[in-house]
Amino acid sequence: MNLEKHKNNILENGFTIFRDIFSEEDIDKISDHIQNIDTSKETFRKSEDLFAIRQFLKEIPGINELIFNDKIKAIIKEIFGEKYFVVKSIYFDKPEKSNWYVAYHQDLTISVDKKLQLENFGPWTTKQNQFAVQPPLNILENIFTIRIHLDDTDEHNGALKVVPKSHAKGIYRPETIDWNMETEEICNVEKGGIMIMKPLLLHGSNRTTNGKKRRVIHIEFSDRELPEGLNWAERMN
């Protein structure tokens, strides 16, 4: 793993892709863990189009040891730094029949434990007792997201499409993208690979056309403390 090269990719383009971080056996173990859970809780979302688990690392007992293998730990330490901790985790399963399309967007909110009147924090949303808020830009700029791919993902089954370098342009409204200036890149990731991205990178995904699954574990990391009285909802060292 040439970590320096990957670090530069993230800095310059807002993302990078690693192959073979998890073996076939690792993926099977993770999949088995997810299969054997009680899905009746509020943090689970089930529809024909999507199966999602919010607060994934908290909800699935024993999953942390499988996720945080030596390779992932080395990547976090070298690329993010010593002080980073988990602030959010979600599992997405877009079933074969799902025709889920996601328009270009940035990830602009963080999950917190309560709603407070704070300068430069807002707007606020609440979903099933989960508070989310748009924080100041410097907090968003310091977040890293790791996307672990449990299936091969390419342009035919909804791979992420991104606008390289858009992470460095602050809040970037998708309707203002000038395609004469910007390019689009499809991020194909093989099963067992990971993609690391900055949440301010403009990203979206097209509909699946080949009827293949696309399961992804999405984990966000920060090294920032929030203002007094406000805490990261899913903080985990």
Cα–Cα distance measured from residue 65 to residue 51, given in angstroms and rounded to the nearest whole number? 23
Q: In this structure, are residues 155 and 206 in contact, taking their beta carbons and an 8 Å threshold?
A: yes
47 touches 212 (CB < 8 A): no
Q: Would you say residue 152 lies in a domain?
A: yes
Residue 124 within any structural domain of the chain: yes
Structure confidence by residue, pLDDT tens digits, 154-179: 988 889 999 999 999 999 999 999 99
**How buried is 111 (Cβ within 10 angstroms: 0-12 exposed, 13-18 middle, 19+ buried)?**
buried
| Domain range enclosing 121 | 3-222
- Residue 185 in any domain: the answer is yes
229 within a domain of the structure (yes/no): no
Residue 191 included in any domain: yes
The number of domains in the chain is 1
Distance from the first to the final alpha carbon of the chain = 24
Nearest alpha carbon to residue 115 among 236, 231, 234, 235: 231
pTM listed for this prediction: 0.94
Structure confidence by residue, pLDDT tens digits, 63-80? 999 999 999 999 999 999
Nearest to 223 by CA among 87, 28, 70: 87
Is 235 a member of any domain?
Answer: no
Q: 237 in a domain, yes or no?
A: no
- Residue 39, in any domain of the structure: yes
CATH number at residue 82: 2.60.120.620
CA distance 159 to 219: 17
In this prediction, residue 42 has a pLDDT band, given cuts at 50, 70 and 90, of low
